[in-house]
Amino acid sequence: MITVHHLKKSRSKRVIWLLEELAMPYTLINHQRDPITNLAPKSLQEIHPLAKAPIIVNDDITICESGAIMEYILNKNSSDQLRPTINSAAYYQYLEWSHFAEGSLALPIISTLLMQMETRDGTCPLDHYIAKEITVDFSYIEQTLAQQPYFAGESFTAADIMMTIMLEIAQSLKLLNDKTHIKNYLANVQKRKAYQLALSHG
Ligand SMILES: N[C@@H](CCC(=O)N[C@@H](CS)C(=O)NCC(=O)O)C(=O)O
């Protein structure tokens, strides 16, 4: 059975959501963030040197990094759910969006989140880069969701789980105000039962 090391309000929601979608059993271990720094506690460092959520442990395998964990779980699942057939056109959309969520989109979103927490005096060089990334990324996402219901095409996949968490943070930062298709997409995926179950773990 897979053990999921979880931090509330974190990317570990992705892993719980996927396991719930696949109806796979798991054990959840909750770790508490440091109340002052909001960083992960020592208990996570004892599991993996990177000390970030999510981490999963299954037999002799320990993995940190949500995208890698999603692939591990999909490989363990005997059905072909939530990942398009390898080498199909949808599979490459799935791969692009799964990687885009952490490889590209996380940087401008998490930077915006962190920059809002600090006291700033004027514009910094990073601001121009972040503003450009936000414009390019969200217009591409909006354009994609205007043409198809899910990131990999007609069917819900694990790429939607990877993308949703970043889009939710973007929404909380008011980056989606004029993005009707993205907002409709979020409202739609948030109705899923497995999403609601993952949400109930915080
Ligand atoms: N790219 C990693 C990011 C992991 C990450 O930054 N996790 C955050 C929570 S969303 C964390 O553990 N933060 C606490 C810390 O860094 O101390 C992934 O997708 O798993």
Given the CA of residue 34, which atom of ligand 1 is nearest to it? 17
The four Cα atoms 24, 30, 36, 38 give a dihedral, to 10 degrees, of -10
- Residue 14 CB–ligand 1 contact under 6 Å: no
User: Among the CATH numbers 1.10.287.130, 3.10.580.10, 1.20.1050.10, 3.20.10.10, which is that of 89-195?
Assistant: 1.20.1050.10
SS3 119: coil
CB hemisphere CA count around 71 (13 angstroms):
11
Residue 119 confidence (pLDDT): 82
Q: Is residue 102 lining ligand 1, measured as CB closer than 6 Å?
A: yes
Which residues of the chain have a pLDDT value below 50? none
2-81: CATH topology? Glutaredoxin (3.40.30)
Ligand 1 within 6 A of CB of 189: no
Q: Do domains 2-81 and 89-195 have the same CATH topology?
A: no
Prediction pTM value: 0.96
Dist CA 9 CA 107 (whole Å): 18
Q: Can you give the residue ranges of every domain in the chain?
A: 2-81, 89-195
β-pairing, 26-31 vs 61-64, is unpaired
| Confidence at residue 78, expressed as pLDDT on a 0 to 100 scale | 82
Enumerate helices (H) and strands (E) in the chain, giving the number of each: 9, 4
Q: What is the pLDDT of residue 123?
A: 78
Task: Please give the torsion angle defined by the CA atoms of residues 142, 156, 167 and 24, in that order, rounded to the nearest 10 degrees.
Answer: -170
Q: Residue 54 Cα, ligand 1 centroid: separation in angstroms? A: 7
pLDDT per residue as tens digits for the range 96-145: 999 999 999 999 999 999 988 888 788 788 899 999 999 999 999 999 99
Q: Residue 112: which of 37, 55, 176, 52 has the closest Cα?
A: 176
Tell the residue nearest (CA) to atom 11 of ligand 1.
52
